[in-house]
Structure 1
Amino acid sequence: MNITRENIDALNAVVKVDIAKDDYSDKVEKILTDYRKTANIPGFRKGHVPMGMVKKQYGKAVLVDEVNKLLQDALNKYLTEEKLDVLGQPLPKQQDDINWDADSFSFEFELGLAPEFKVELKSKKPITHYNIIADDKMINEQIERIQKQYGKIVSEKEVKKDSEITGTFKNEDKEIDNTTTITLDQFKGKTTEKKFIGAKVGDVITLKTKGLFADDHELMNALKVPHDDAHDLDIEVTFTITEINSRELADLDQDLFDKLFGKDVVKSATELKAKIKEDAEKQFVQQSDQKLLNDVTEYLVENTKFDLPAEFLTKWMQVAGETEMDEAQAKEEYEKSEKSLRYQLIEGKLMEENGLKVDFEDVKNNAKNMIKMQMAQFGQMNPTDKELDDIAARVLGNQDEVRRISEQVVSQKLLNLYKEKANIKTKELSYDAFVKEVYGDK
């Protein structure tokens, strides 16, 4: 067997594999001999079928199968030994005239080669890493929500600004008939609020759904309509009030603290504020880190310049999926996935250059930490190592979960690398200010 490579350019190559009779003849002969021992052919006893007849009936199929196996094994071994960093998979060049009666065969494969490039982590302009804090306004609002949640419900005669209003939304044409409880702060704008203020049980209020709530998902829940219907829904509905309540705020006493956090974990309003601040800011870290990861990723993709074997990858995408695509579909798919492919190459290079690896212990420990946090949400604060190991073993028996957790581990290792080596500045601000700066004034 002989394998040669012709480099078309830095990103494309053609590998030619020449297979001679000596490479496959012994294997083919052995398989046909075994067939002869077991073949059931009318007119012959088992094991006494003439070899010529066996070869005539099975010879070409066995030859094709063995040559293809030999070809794939040789090609994979060649790519490994030559340390070729290929993109996608080798594509066989079209050959319609293979003469399987010949003694030797030649096959050609197109290769798409990964580009050579450098990754510069330090941007000229620093990338912001947000330190999101829970300010007094947020903490006080959270305390008030807790007091309302655990407070006493008081029946009211008419709707006030802070009332909880139970009633039924109706629209006959759309078959809407849903009873729900709402508060006035859910509505978008003051016009709707004014319609409710002073209303009494039994009153019927007519409302337009377009722009009724600040978020269309609230409209979906209030009317119990499908997600797609809720967006841009523009109809009139009636709301019949059946109950009006207010909440008498719960006292900030030890009984409330124990309900929230367990016996004597929090013993004063000051400690309550500190606990709420601590818990909130732990959640904010995840959002802040995800924002940093996204921003560094965007910077790297936009500023790490290299070419890709676009024509090869487009051809590969035509045949790589479960269903084949035509050329136009494959080109569209390549354009959609190019950015992701670029980042995969950048990510791989950063992992290699910085000695970052993900092993099974990393994945297992990440799974156990995830399980521990989930158990804590249900009050199981101190699971044993055996419990964690047993649950982790079940989770990691699912290959999709292993892949998902592995990706999380990679992201965390890269995040740590970015924090250490990228040009980052820290900016401290409240959660509301973070949302406004990052996502706009919602």
Structure 2
Amino acid sequence: MNITRENSDALNAVVKVEITKDDYSDKVEKILTDYRKSANIPGFRKGHVPMNLVKKQYGKAVLVDEVNKLLQDAIGKYLVEEKLDVLGNPLPKPQDDLDWDADAFSFEFELGLAPEFDVKLKGKKAITHYNIVADDKMINNQVEHIQKQYGKLISQDEVSEDSEITGKFSNEDKNIENVATITLDKFKGKTNSKKFIGAKVGDIITLNTKGLFKDDHDLMAFLKVNHEDAHGLDIEVNFEVSEINKRELADLDQDLFDKLFGKGNVTSVTELKERIKTDSEKQFTQQSDQKLLNDVTEYLVEDTKFDLPAEFLQKWMQTAGEEPMSQDQAKEEFEKSEKSIRYQLIEGKLIQEHNLQVQFDDLKAYAIEMIKGQMAQFGQMNPSEKELEDIAARILSNKDEVKRLSEQLMSQKLLELYKAEANLKTKKITYDDFVKEFYS
């Protein structure tokens, strides 16, 4: 067997594989001999079928199969030995005139080569890393939310500004019939909320859904309509009042603190607010880090310039999926995924250059921390080491979970690299302002 390569340019190459009879004949002969021993052909006893008949019936198929196996094995070894960094998979060049009756065969494969490039983490323009803080307004709102959550419901005769009203939304034409509990602050403007003031159990209030709530998505929850129908919904609905309550706020006392955080862990309103601030900002860190990861990714893709073997990749995409693509479909798919391909190459280079690896011990420690966090959400604050080890072992025995956790851990390692090496500036921002700026 002989393998040669000719580079068309820096990103494309053709590999030629020449296979002679010596490469496959022994293997083909052995398989056909085994076939002869077990072949059931009418008119011949088992194991006594003439070899020329076996070759006539099975020879071509065995030859084709063995040559293809040789090809796949040879190409794979060649790429490893030559240390070729390729994109996609080698594409065989079509050979309509291939003569399988010949003794020697020649095959050509197109390769898309990964580009050479440098990655600069420190750009000229600084990337903002947001320090999201919980301000007094947010903390006080959270305190009030806790008081409402743990407060008592007191029945009322009629609706007032601070009532919780339970009733049924209905519209016969749209098959809407849903029981919901609502507060007047959900309504947009005062026109609709005024309709409820003074209402009693049994009263029916007619509302128009257009501009009914401050957030159109509330229509999904209160009317049980899907996302598509909720946007721009303009119909009349009836709301029949079935229950009116006022929520008496829970006292900020030691009983409440113990329910929330365990006995004696919080002993004053000041400590409660500090705990809310700490817990909230811990959650905000995840959002801040995700924003930073997105921004650095965007910067790296835009700043790191290199060409891709676009024509090869589009050709490869035509046959790589479960369903074959047309040339136009492959071009469209390439345009959609080009940024992703570029970042994968950049990420791979950073991982290699900075020797970022996910070791099993790192993965196990990461899994245990994740388990601790999940258990804490359900009030299990002090699980035993054996309990954590057993759960981690079960998780890490699942290949899909190992892949998912490995990707998360590598993202974390890359994030740590970006924080250490990229050109960053820190900006303090409240959570409300962060949401307005980036998610409104």
Looking at structure 1, the residues matched to 56 and 390 of structure 2 have their Cα atoms a distance apart, in angstroms, of: 57
Mark the runs of 5 or more structure 2 residues left unpaired by the alignment. Answer: none
Corresponding residue number in structure 2 for 1:149: 149
Corresponding residue number in structure 2 for 1:42: 42
Shift of 1:286: 0.5
Shift of 1:313: 0.6
Looking at structure 1, the residues matched to 35 and 366 of structure 2 have their Cα atoms a distance apart, in angstroms, of: 52
Looking at structure 2, the residues matched to 131 and 24 of structure 1 have their Cα atoms a distance apart, in angstroms, of: 65
Looking at structure 2, the residues matched to 338 and 397 of structure 1 have their Cα atoms a distance apart, in angstroms, of: 34
Shift of 1:143: 0.7
Aligned positions, number:
440
Instruction: Describe how 1:14-413 pairs up with structure 2 within 5 A.
Output: 14-413=14-413
Shift of 1:300: 0.7
Looking at structure 1, the residues matched to 96 and 358 of structure 2 have their Cα atoms a distance apart, in angstroms, of: 44
Shift of 1:97: 1.3
Q: Find the residue that maps to 1:5 and give its secondary structure.
A: strand
Looking at structure 2, the residues matched to 228 and 72 of structure 1 have their Cα atoms a distance apart, in angstroms, of: 49
Shift of 1:137: 1.1
Identity of aligned residues (%): 77
Shift of 1:173: 0.4
Looking at structure 1, the residues matched to 436 and 224 of structure 2 have their Cα atoms a distance apart, in angstroms, of: 30
Looking at structure 2, the residues matched to 69 and 152 of structure 1 have their Cα atoms a distance apart, in angstroms, of: 74
Mark the runs of 5 or more structure 1 residues left unpaired by the alignment. Answer: none
Looking at structure 1, the residues matched to 295 and 406 of structure 2 have their Cα atoms a distance apart, in angstroms, of: 21
Shift of 1:398: 3.2
Shift of 1:395: 2.4
Q: Find the residue that maps to 2:217 and give its secondary structure.
A: helix
Looking at structure 2, the residues matched to 148 and 437 of structure 1 have their Cα atoms a distance apart, in angstroms, of: 29
RMSD: 1.4
Shift of 1:46: 2.1
- Distance change >3 Å, CA 216–CA 367, structure 1 → 2: farther
- Distance change >3 Å, CA 190–CA 398, structure 1 → 2: farther
Shift of 1:397: 3.4
Q: Find the residue that maps to 1:216 and give its secondary structure.
A: coil
Looking at structure 1, the residues matched to 16 and 191 of structure 2 have their Cα atoms a distance apart, in angstroms, of: 75
Residue type of the partner of 2:160?
K
Shift of 1:230: 2.1
Shift of 1:265: 1.1
Shift of 1:388: 2.2
Shift of 1:379: 1.6
Residue type of the partner of 2:46?
K
Q: Find the residue that maps to 2:210 and give its secondary structure.
A: coil
Q: Pick which of 394-403 and 104-113 moved more.
A: 394-403
Looking at structure 2, the residues matched to 360 and 60 of structure 1 have their Cα atoms a distance apart, in angstroms, of: 48
Q: Find the residue that maps to 2:33 and give its secondary structure.
A: helix
- What's the TM-score once normalised by structure 1's chain length? 0.96
Looking at structure 2, the residues matched to 199 and 8 of structure 1 have their Cα atoms a distance apart, in angstroms, of: 81
Q: Find the residue that maps to 1:111 and give its secondary structure.
A: strand
